[in-house]
Amino acid sequence: MHDRCSGCELKYERAPGYFLGSIYINYGVTAIVMTWAYVLFHFVLDIENRYVMPPILLFCLVFPAVFIRYARSFWLGLDCYFDTESFGLNEPDESHADGDQESTDPQPPAD
Ligand SMILES: [Zn+2]
């Protein structure tokens, strides 16, 4: 995993153990997909457990390893969305920082 974004220099791992929360996302998505796959194959399509379980167990081993980068990306996105201050996204806009404020009050018609 890269240390920083090549486009905007955003540091990905913002603190030690920062991506620990992404494990919950990874686990949750794996559990939901596995559960729905089991329900579909066993109860809807009426396939026996001895044929359903091996591919589902294989899925439980392979999917989290593939999905980890997307879970981390989602975790970083959530943090960026809910904690904009620590990402420097609440800095004042430069174009309006000079103190001049245009009046938004309606002006009387000139006649
Ligand atoms: Zn970037």
> Which 3-state string (H, E, C) describes 52-103?
HHHHHHHHHHHHHHHHHHHHHHHHHHHHHHHCHHHHCCCCCCHHHCCCCCCC
CA 6 to centroid of ligand 1, rounded, Å:
6
CA 92 to centroid of ligand 1, rounded, Å:
20
CA 4 to centroid of ligand 1, rounded, Å:
8
CA 24 to centroid of ligand 1, rounded, Å:
24
Question: How much is the pLDDT for 84?
Answer: 83
Q: Is the pLDDT of residue 106 over 70?
A: no
Here the tokens at position 47 are 């396939």
Ligand 1 ion: nearby residues, β-carbon < 5 Å: 5, 7-8, 10
pLDDT category of residue 2 using cuts at 50, 70 and 90: confident
Let me know if 73 is exposed, middle or buried by CB neighbors in 10 A (0-12, 13-18, 19+): middle
CB atoms within 10 A of CB 40: 12
Share of the chain above pLDDT 70, in %: 80
CA 46 to centroid of ligand 1, rounded, Å:
47
The DSSP bridge partners found for residue 4 are 11
CA 74 to centroid of ligand 1, rounded, Å:
14
The whole-number average pLDDT for the span 34-39 is: 96
Question: How much is the pLDDT for 88?
Answer: 75
Q: What is the pTM of this model?
A: 0.69
The mean pLDDT of the chain is: 85
**C-beta of residue 89 within 8 angstroms of C-beta of residue 80:** yes
More confident residue, 22 or 95: 22
pLDDT per position as a tens digit, 62-100: 999 999 999 999 999 999 899 888 777 766 655 554 545
